[in-house]
């Protein structure tokens, strides 16, 4: 997922919240709906940013024993980017 969806939702919400003056459509207030869309867009944007900026960490530990019975351990940590989202 990219950043277009959340930013579009924020823009639509801000237009609804700031461009109308106390207008209702049935039982629904347009201003309240706009602010709800802004909050949802911000949450979506934050979750997208967190998901795209996380790295995966994998740790491998190996223990070897020599002929005299001494043990040595080595630890290797590698980081990789998460796989890209599937194309739609």
Q: How far apart are CA 76 and CA 66, in angstroms?
A: 20
Across 22-33, average pLDDT: 84
Enumerate the domain spans of the chain: 4-51
Please report the pLDDT score of residue 5 as a whole number: 92
The pLDDT of residue 49: 87
Per-residue burial over 29-43, b = 16 or more CB atoms within 10 Å of its CB, e = otherwise: ebbebbeebbeebee
Band (pLDDT 50/70/90 cuts) for residue 67 is confident
Average pLDDT over residues 60-66: 84
Q: Is the pLDDT of residue 55 over 80?
A: no
CA distance 37 to 60: 45
Q: Own/partner pairs for 85-88, CB < 8 Å, 24+ apart?
A: 85/1
Rounded distance, CA 72 to CA 22, Å?
A: 73
Q: What is the pTM of this model?
A: 0.60
């Amino acid at each position: 997922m990219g950043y277009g969806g959340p930013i579009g939702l924020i823009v639509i919400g801000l237009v609804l919240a700031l461009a109308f003056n106390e207008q209702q459509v049935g039982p629904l207030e347009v201003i309240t709906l706009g602010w709800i869309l802004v909050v949802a867009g911000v949450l979506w944007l934050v979750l997208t940013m967190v998901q795209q900026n996380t790295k995966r960490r994998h740790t491998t530990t190996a223990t070897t024993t020599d002929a005299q019975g001494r043990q040595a351990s080595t630890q290797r940590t590698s980081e990789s980017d998460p796989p890209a989202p599937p194309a739609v």
